[in-house]
Amino acid sequence: MSTAGHRPWWVYLSATAVLVALLWIGWSDFMPRVPREVVQDTIRGTIRQTIQIAVQFVGPALLIGFLAAEVLAFSKSRRKA
């Protein structure tokens, strides 16, 4: 060490190079080995399913909540009048 508590610049450079190499090796090991078309079809299918769920469940739930809030607001306004 050149001074107490400080390391030379090449130690940091070496550690960074090793870290990048390990990340590169690890990432390339876990990359999917499937054709691009399969990945695109899977993404499209997931988006399609998400839209279907939103239309089938979330939309009606929001509509019911809106109608319930309107009925409550209407009944409160009728009580005050």
- Round the CA-based radius of gyration of the chain to a whole number and report it: 29
pLDDT digits (tens, 9 = 90+) for 14-58: 888 988 888 777 766 666 677 878 888 988 999 999 888 888 888
Alpha-carbon distance values, 6 to 1, 3, 10, 12, 46 (Å): 7, 6, 12, 11, 51
Whole-angstrom Cα distance, residue 28 to residue 76?
Answer: 63
Quick one: pLDDT at residue 37?
Answer: 86
Quick one: pLDDT at residue 46?
Answer: 92
Quick one: pLDDT at residue 76?
Answer: 86
Dihedral angle sign, alpha carbons of residues 60, 64, 67, 69: negative
